């Protein structure tokens, strides 16, 4: 049987630890093509390059795998992969990651990892973003491989609804094994930002973004709960941001100006 074509990208850059593991696993399951940023692009969200040149170079970092490094954002990488690198070949799956850090809850909006996956969904391809909830420089990815493989196989077999990308987050390595997979909703939580005022050696001021993550969600069906309780969280995401439940009320309450 013909192997599925799998496009791999990320936001941590083509040399990151997470993408090496992801490419290794995807190579077991299909024909892999990698188009990833040439350097870190974390927190870029769904930004695209429109005012600067976009560069694309082949890279032999993954033996036996066609790989390209791109000067643009994660969304740029998926766009140029679909429309230039692969031309008339449509990937059967887009996977992004494995991100070095959490992309649960509101972080999905800022995430370059998930923006690569969502760009795949926009282009009509099933897509998955994988993230490990561990920011440590020596984070251990060894416990996630089997789950990456299992979830990918399931999506390749059954597909996804059109326009949907899965946001998959893994708990950090703990003393106990992962307890399983939970299909979740996005937790109602947010970042409470602080801007630290600092001065450079020339006396010019600058700001450093800091802050704390605040979880207001007390439910047990969300991604934050799943990670805290040592489950893999899987949240189906869509790019349609319409608040559909508000359309009816606005039509009713705004009838005097419509």
CA atoms within 13 A on the CB side of 1: 5
Query: Do the beta carbons of residue 151 and residue 233 sit within 8 Å?
Result: no
Is 256 marked within a binding site? no
Nearest to 68 by CA among 94, 47, 37, 39: 37
Residue labelled with tokens 């643009």: 72
Secondary-structure percent of the chain, ordered helix, strand, coil, rounded to 5: 25, 30, 45
Is 11 marked within a binding site? yes
Mapped onto helix, strand or coil, the DSSP state of residue 166 is: strand
Is 12 marked within a binding site? yes
Nearest to 125 by CA among 96, 168, 150: 96
**Residues forming the annotated binding site for a divalent metal cation?**
11-12, 42, 99
Q: Which parts are annotated binding residues?
A: 11-12, 42, 99
């Amino acid at each position: 049987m013909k192997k599925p074509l799998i496009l791999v990208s990320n936001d941590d850059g083509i040399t990151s630890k997470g993408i090496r593991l992801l490419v290794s696993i995807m190579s077991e399951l299909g024909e892999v093509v990698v188009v990833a940023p040439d350097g870190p692009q974390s927190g870029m969200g769904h930004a695209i390059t429109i005012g600067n040149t976009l560069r694309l170079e082949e890279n032999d970092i993954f033996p036996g795998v066609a790989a390209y490094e791109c000067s643009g954002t994660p969304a740029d990488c998926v766009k140029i992969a679909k429309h230039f690198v692969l031309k008339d070949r449509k990937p059967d799956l887009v996977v992004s990651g494995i991100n070095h850090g959490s992309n649960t809850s509101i972080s999905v909006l800022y995430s370059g990892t998930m923006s690569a996956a969502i760009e795949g969904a926009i282009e009509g391809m099933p897509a998955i973003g994988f993230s490990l909830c561990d920011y440590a420089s020596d984070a251990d990815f060894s416990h996630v491989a089997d789950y990456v493989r299992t979830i990918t196989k399931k999506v390749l077999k059954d597909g996804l609804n059109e326009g949907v990308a899965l946001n998959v987050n893994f708990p950090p390595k703990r003393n106990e094994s992962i307890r399983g997979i939970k299909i979740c909703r996005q937790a109602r939580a947010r970042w409470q930002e602080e801007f630290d005022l600092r001065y450079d050696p020339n006396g010019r001021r600058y700001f450093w973004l800091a802050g704390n993550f605040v979880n207001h969600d007390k439910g047990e069906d969300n991604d934050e709960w799943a990670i805290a309780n040592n489950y893999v969280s899987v949240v189906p995401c869509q790019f349609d941001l319409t608040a559909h439940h508000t359309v009816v009320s606005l039509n009713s309450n705004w009838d005097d100006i419509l």
